[in-house]
Amino acid sequence: MPRFLVFIVAVRIEFLLWGCGQNIAANGSSAAKKDSVSVLYSEFHDFESVPDAQIDSTKAFSGKRSGALSPKIEYGFGMEKFLGEISSFKSVEEVNVSFKCWMNKKDPDAVFVLSIDNYNSIPNKNIMWEGKPIVTSKLNDWDDVHINFKINKLFIVRDYTIKLYIWNKGKNTFYFDDLLLDFIKTKK
Ligand SMILES: [Ca+2]
């Protein structure tokens, strides 16, 4: 198998593993469904399914489980798709991320990452990478986190891969639950 194919397969398996055990609702309800935007694609994760290293039953906003990161787990959550897998992908302008987060530090040096890559090029080419800080205003309690990514139209290409994940840069312990991703078109 050509080397770049091995890489793509490895990356996809890694993200599948991250995504396993999570509930996905392709057209889930959305707080972002306001008059000003139209939601083209949604995913909602309540982390209630079969526990793995990143599913924790110590704390939960909904149900009995949440996603968890710790000094030993640097990356959390994770979705990966070819942009072409998203309906009306050419109209995607922004991705809204919202979730509940429980932290014992106001800024644990963690970021939510959106990355777009072209794995068809040799060498593989990163097209866009943006990491936005995850911060809460409450300590030792659940709080809302909202993050918005704007995507340049030039980066919206059928064969490009979009990834969204949490990078626990500071290697701290915190929990996240009820994570909603909305791919949106801003109505003009
Ligand atoms: Ca939950």
Task: Give mean pLDDT in consecutive 10-residue pieces for the chain, a chain of 188 residues.
Answer: 45 43 43 70 91 78 94 93 95 97 89 97 94 95 97 97 97 95 90
Ligand 1 center to 34 CA (angstroms): 25
Ligand 1 center to 61 CA (angstroms): 6
Ligand 1 center to 89 CA (angstroms): 29
Report pLDDT for 12.
46
Ligand 1 center to 47 CA (angstroms): 5
**For strand 111-118 and strand 37-45, is the pairing parallel, antiparallel, or unpaired?**
unpaired
Give the number of residues written for the chain.
Answer: 188
- pTM assigned to the model: 0.81
Report pLDDT for 107.
80
Ligand 1 center to 120 CA (angstroms): 36
Give the DSSP H or E segment for 6: helix 3-19
Which of 87, 140, 136, 85 lies closest to 112 in space, CA to CA? 136
Report pLDDT for 97.
98
In the chain, the domains with their CATH numbers are: 3-186 (2.60.120)
Ligand 1 center to 45 CA (angstroms): 8
Cβ neighbors of 89 (< 8 A, separation 6 or more) are 40, 83, 156, 158, 183
Ligand 1 center to 97 CA (angstroms): 16
Report pLDDT for 10.
43
Ligand 1 center to 127 CA (angstroms): 33
Report pLDDT for 187.
77
CA angle 27, 32, 33 (to 5 degrees): 65
Evaluate whether 166 touches 75 at the Cβ level (below 8 Å).
yes
Buried b or exposed e, range 135-174, using 16+ CB within 10 angstroms: bbeeeeebbebebebebeeeebbeebbbbbbbbbbeebbb
Which of 97, 95, 115, 87 lies closest to 37 in space, CA to CA? 95
Ligand 1 center to 6 CA (angstroms): 34
